[in-house]
Amino acid sequence: MPKVDPAIFKAYDIRGIYPTQLNEETAYLVGKALVEYLKPKNIAVGRDMRLSSPALFESLTRGILEAGADVIDIGLCSTDELYFAVGKFGFDGGVMITASHNPKEYNGFKICQKEAIPLSGDSGLNEIQEIILSGKFSTPAKKGSLIKKDVTDDYIRHILSFVDVKKIKPFKIVVDAGNGMAGLLVPKLFEKLSGQLIPMFFELDGSFPNHPASPIEPENLKFLQEKVIQEKAFLGAAFDGDADRVFFVDEKAHMLGGDIVTALVAKSLLKKGKDATILYNIICSRAVPRVIQENGGKAVKTRVGHALIKPLMKQYNAIFGGEHSGHFYYRDNFYADSALITLVVFLELLSEENKNVSELVKEIDQYYRSGEINSKVEDIPKKLQEIEKLYSKGKIDHLDGLTVEFEDWWFNLRPSNTEPLLRLNVEADSKELLKQKTLELLNLIRS
């Protein structure tokens, strides 16, 4: 029986430390099992700049080819470019070799099937794990072929199709690629835009010599923030390692939450077509549904998690979906997320509004947020019941954990998928109320 660490099979991908948890043998078996599960004619494979990605690519593709499927090698790319390739060219599936924002010793596989629909724990990854453990693989009539295909120019054209390029003003923009895949794509995108690009850490380097490519952590934005002030730039943007997530800072170097970007992108897209449905996850600010409704759209709240939002977008025929975590999804991008589409849509909105980023944010964001606070809890169901009872006068929702809404504040408390943790998010109309309610809830959760 093959030895594969079960801990590498996560809720949304396969990921672990190289080479102790995840190695060439793992990659080979994942390749074979994926073909066994999907029964595809072909699989597109892309990879990021991590030091172990070339070795994992060789083993993964060997597994796919031996199992009888063709490999479409799209080379070094971003995760959203891999999804685009699968959707645009009708491939039967795709694998992105990446560990996204994780530290340098990690690597992994993000996998999708036809139409760029992601595989998650309960929609394919568990089955792939079972096939590997069983060791039962079919013998194909013949091996597959390796075909190289460069899709970058097609992807850049696709990104720009979301905006009127002529409208975008020549802003001065600082971009921090974090030595990740944005360093390859952003220069090609800016060849078509009339802005002044100030690049930071564009050299592809899987050792991440400058800072971790995880812009959701405020400490990883400090280089970008300093550069924005120093250059008197209009906007700063930071990408994660596989360039499928983006975070922005305004001209004063203040970070914009993913939920506020969701609201602003929604505003931009709704200018082009009213009555559209837009999805946002449950821990986004109240500003998000308000902006969607004020601009003639229909707001639909979802649970947290990117594998959950994509099928719902299809179900609702939603034009756009946003998460607080910096993932932004587009119907016309095969319902997949794209950080680069978000960047150009945001630039188009800023060009039309003729305002600084901070002014635009101030117009829509009148709330104060705690950010996500984690607490270790032994008996999670009991604690959730206890807190629901104490706040029973509010409007209660069980869409994802426990959400309780009051007129001037609300909170969401939900369990982690992987650890004995409760995650708390609080939003209030004033700083004082936010502080009071956050402390009150933390005392209850941790007692």
Q: What is the 3-state secondary structure (H, E, C) of the chain?
A: CCCCCHHHECCCCEEEECCCCCCHHHHHHHHHHHHHHHCCCEEEEEECCCCCHHHHHHHHHHHHHHCCCEEEEEEECCHHHHHHHHHHHCCCEEEEECCCCCCCCEEEEEEEEHHHEECCHHHHHHHHHHHHHHCCCCCCCCCCCEEECCCHHHHHHHHHCCCCHHHCCCCEEEEECCCCCHHHHHHHHHCCCCCEEEEECCCCCCCCCCCCCCCCCHHHHHHHHHHHHHHCCCEEEEECCCCCCEEEECCCCCEECHHHHHHHHHHHHHCCCCCCEEEEECCCCCHHHHHHHHCCCEEEEECCCHHHHHHHHHHHCCCEEECCCCCEEEHHHCCCECHHHHHHHHHHHHHHHCCCHHHHHHHHCCCEECCCEEEECCCHHHHHHHHHHHCCCCEEECCCCEEEECCCEEEEEEECCCCCEEEEEEEECCHHHHHHHHHHHHHHHHC
Residue type, 209: P
Residue type, 42: N
Residue 28 pLDDT > 70, yes or no?
yes
Q: Residue range 13-20: average pLDDT?
A: 97
Rounded-to-integer distance, Cα 52 and Cα 106, Å: 9
State which of 254, 288, 317 marks the end of a domain: 254
Are 132 and 195 within one domain? Answer: no
Quote the number of domains for the chain.
Answer: 3
Are 14 and 95 within one domain? Answer: yes
State which of 150, 175, 205 marks the end of a domain: 150
Residue 3 pLDDT > 90, yes or no?
no
| pTM beyond 0.75, yes or no | yes
Domain harbouring 189, CATH code: 3.40.120.10
Residue type, 266: A
pLDDT for position 417: 75
- 342-392 pLDDT, tens per residue? 999 999 999 999 899 999 999 999 999 999 999 999 999 999 999 999 999
* Structural domain range at position 417: 368-446
Q: Residue range 270-298: average pLDDT?
A: 95
Rounded-to-integer distance, Cα 162 and Cα 159, Å: 6
Rounded-to-integer distance, Cα 179 and Cα 322, Å: 25
Residue type, 156: I
- 140-180 pLDDT, tens per residue? 999 999 999 999 999 999 999 999 999 999 999 999 999 99
Pairing mode, strands 172-176 and 146-148: unpaired
Rounded-to-integer distance, Cα 47 and Cα 35, Å: 18
Q: Is residue 288 part of a domain?
A: no
pLDDT for position 1: 59
Pairing mode, strands 373-376 and 421-428: antiparallel
Residue 312: is it exposed, middle or buried by C-beta count within 10 angstroms (0-12/13-18/19+)? middle
Q: Is residue 291 part of a domain?
A: no
Lowest mean pLDDT among 109-118, 287-296, 337-346, 415-424: 415-424
Rounded-to-integer distance, Cα 315 and Cα 306, Å: 15
Are 47 and 175 within one domain? Answer: no
Residue 306 pLDDT > 90, yes or no?
no
CA distances 109 to 13, 95, 201, 240, 324, Å, are 6, 6, 24, 16, 23
Nearest Cα neighbor of 104 from 63, 49, 153, 155 is 49
Average pLDDT, the chain: 96
Domain harbouring 408, CATH code: 3.30.310.50
- 179-194 pLDDT, tens per residue? 999 999 999 999 999 9
Residue 413 pLDDT > 90, yes or no?
yes
Bond preceding residue 19 cis, omega within 30 of 0: yes
Are 53 and 131 within one domain? Answer: yes
Are 124 and 158 within one domain? Answer: no
Confidence class for position 305, pLDDT limits 50, 70, 90: confident
- 203-227 pLDDT, tens per residue? 999 999 999 999 999 999 999 999 9
Q: Is residue 332 part of a domain?
A: no
Are 36 and 59 within one domain? Answer: yes
Confidence class for position 267, pLDDT limits 50, 70, 90: very high
State which of 254, 273, 306 marks the end of a domain: 254
Active site residues: 100
Structure tokens at 138: 């079919």
